[in-house]
Structure 1
Amino acid sequence: MIRRISVACLCIVVLAFLLMPDMFRPVLQPLVAEGMPPIYDRANLLMLTLAHLGLVVAAIIPSAILAVSLAIFVSRPAGSEFLPLSRALTNFGQTFPPVAVLALTVPLLGFGLWPTLLALFLYGLLPIFENTLAAFVTLSPSVREAAAAMGMTPRQRLWRVELPLALPLILEGGRIATIIALSTATIGSTVAARSLGEVIIAGLNSNNLAFILQGGILTAALALLISEVFSFVIRRLQYTQQAR
């Protein structure tokens, strides 16, 4: 109950700040030198936040599709020999720093959205792949045997039995990947992608602590709220499975 109240309060504060930032001016004013703006005024904070979230969603969805597909493929007898290659591909995204991805892809893709999307896409592969693979590998053989005994084809077993049972663990991987992407997306502003990193960079350039805090706290708050949404859905799925 306390957790839900805390999440609701955080959501209200974030919405209030995005919709009516001037309400928080007295709180942020002491953090800046005289004559400097305490509220970021070079762009609309709500639009920047939506752009930041859009960047994350646009990267994580294709990352999840590829990672889940790879994990399902290598968990089948026909694809098991490709497991080392799949692991190498998904590990590449985590071992290659996002800043390096941006530096290498800007000459090819130009400044803006695409280099950042590629970096976030690569960073999201590993947690989703490993969680999906673990979900399928640890699935009880008796479940597959029971489904086969009912006359289900391999495709029916996958969609009707295996995927629903694996979904909580897959979503946990999605939760981790999304939180990583939310924080990593801020570096996209170094190559002119619209994100909350723009607020942080503006604060660093102008020595404005209020700007830095706005960008950092908004990013952290979004990560907490989205993590709670994922956790709630995962708990509901697990409860439903246990109740059957």
Structure 2
Amino acid sequence: MKWLGYGARALALILLLLLLLDTELFAPILAGLNDNGAPAVYRQGSLLFLSLSHLGLVAVSTFIGGALALLAGIFVTRPAGAEFLPLSRTIVNIGQTFPPIAVLAIAVPSLGFGAEPTLLALTLYGLLPIFENTMAGLKSVPATALDAARGMGMTGWQRLTKVELPLALPVILTGIRLSFVVNLGTATIGSTVGAKSLGEVIMAGITTTNTAYILQGGIIVALLAVLIYDALGSLERSLAKRTGTAGAR
């Protein structure tokens, strides 16, 4: 079964590389999806460039959102910040429930067109899973480990950085993984405000009723999501084994 998993990953990676580097190879297959005489293969821009730009938007927004959510999660699990938990949870929930397209509409007048409003929308949308998993991970640290750290004379900061965060890291990474993959799909809306992303291919297909374009953009996004989700999952399992928390998850 393990070899089947490796084979599926290899096939997905090969298909992704072919779509990005040799799109013309799929022209005969995609030609049947067009009934308006339009090209079957997207040639208005480089799919590789759009994919890298798409990944860049998601990576930057996940980094910013992850830093904010991590700091907030740490703060509300400290005695001094416990009373701010309801407020913090309300804020991150708003980021998840408020439609990203609405954030774009509000942000464009002040930030202009391009990557900036898209980064804002993705950052807000990705806060919730990282925030909740940060709290869950920190709260799951065994009391015996904390007691041992106190017995060694560690300060609160040392306990956090040397005991709590390392033990909570696999759970936190799960939240980062979910946030990243969800935003991979959400980032396609960035093309509506001029951000370079794979949404450009999908929107071109929608506006010209070209199913082949829509399929190309959608498959590339899906393959990126599957491969990155799997890679981050492997990293998460490796960290869980190193910290001894694999059996508890």
TM bin (shorter chain): over 0.9
1:136 is the counterpart of 2:113: no
Contact 2:140 2:168 in 1 (8 A): no
Q: Deviations over 1:16-42 (max 9, x none)?
A: 211111111121111113632111011
Paired with 1:175 and 1:119, the residues of 2 have a C-alpha distance of: 18
Report the alpha carbon displacement of residue 169 of structure 1 after superposing the two structures with TM.
0.4
Q: Look up the match of 1:75.
A: 77
Rate the CA distance shift 1:118–1:243 in 2: closer, same or farther, 3 A: closer
Q: Look up the match of 1:236.
A: 238
Q: Look up the match of 1:223.
A: 225
Q: Deviations over 1:115-174 (max 9, x none)?
A: 110000001111000000011122221110011111211111111111110000000000
Rate the CA distance shift 1:243–1:203 in 2: closer, same or farther, 3 A: closer
Report the alpha carbon displacement of residue 243 of structure 1 after superposing the two structures with TM.
8.9
Report the alpha carbon displacement of residue 235 of structure 1 after superposing the two structures with TM.
0.8
Alignment map for 1:88-237 (pairs within 5 Å): 88-237=90-239
More displaced, 199-208 or 151-160?
151-160
Describe the SS at the equivalent of 2:195: coil
Runs of 4+ with >2 A deviation: 241-244
Identity over the aligned pairs, expressed in percent?
Answer: 52
Rate the CA distance shift 1:243–1:64 in 2: closer, same or farther, 3 A: closer
1:64 is the counterpart of 2:102: no
For the aligned residue pairs, the C-alpha RMSD in angstroms reads 1.3
Contact 2:167 2:245 in 1 (8 A): no
Paired with 1:199 and 1:92, the residues of 2 have a C-alpha distance of: 30
Q: Deviations over 1:56-105 (max 9, x none)?
A: 01111010001001100110111111111111111110111101101111
Q: Look up the match of 1:22.
A: 24
Paired with 1:152 and 1:34, the residues of 2 have a C-alpha distance of: 70
Gaps of 5+ in 2: none
Report the alpha carbon displacement of residue 223 of structure 1 after superposing the two structures with TM.
0.7
Paired with 2:105 and 2:55, the residues of 1 have a C-alpha distance of: 23
1:50 is the counterpart of 2:52: yes
Counterpart AA for 1:27: I
**Aligned residue pairs, count:** 244
Describe the SS at the equivalent of 1:152: coil
Paired with 2:97 and 2:68, the residues of 1 have a C-alpha distance of: 18
Rate the CA distance shift 1:83–1:243 in 2: closer, same or farther, 3 A: closer
Paired with 2:59 and 2:89, the residues of 1 have a C-alpha distance of: 23
